[in-house]
Amino acid sequence: MDMKEDSSGQRKMQCSDVSRCFQLLESILDGEMGDGGKDILQEKLDKCQPCFEHFHLEQAIREVLKTKCTKQSVPVELAQSIREKIQDIK
């Protein structure tokens, strides 16, 4: 993974190792990198445009998944039916 500083101070437009960087960013977003992840993340966001865009895209997808795909309403009778079946086998 390319951690070298870009002397221009601008984000570089090409990522030297997209596959590994993106997978790393995803692990960071998933909270799997601990505190060490924050430094790596800041470095990536500051220095690399593809990483910057990928991070924000991944973040947006996680948000919409979480807000729009967890609203399946549970049938009201389900909990009651489970409790009755449990009573039977007690």
Partner 1 sequence: MSEVQRRKYSQEEKNAIFDGEFMPHIDSMYNFAYRLTFDEDDAKDLVQDTYLKAYRFINSFEKGTNAKAWLFRILKNSFINEYRKKSKQPAKVDYQEVETYYNSDDVDFQGTTDLRAESVKDMLGDEISNALNSLAVDFRTVIILCDLEGFTYEEMAKILDIPIGTVRSRLHRARNLLKDKLKGYAQHMGYNTDEEE
Residues that bind partner 1 (CB under 8 A): 18-19, 22-23, 26-27, 30-32, 50, 53-54, 56-66, 68-72, 74-75, 78-79, 81-82, 85-86, 89-90
- The C-alpha atoms of residue 29 and residue 56 are separated, in whole angstroms, by 10
Residue number with CB closer to partner 1 (1 or 18): 18
Residue number with CB closer to partner 1 (7 or 31): 31
- The C-alpha atoms of residue 40 and residue 26 are separated, in whole angstroms, by 12
Residue number with CB closer to partner 1 (22 or 44): 22
Task: Look at residue 42 and give its three-state secondary structure.
Answer: helix
Contact 15, 51 (CB under 8 A): yes
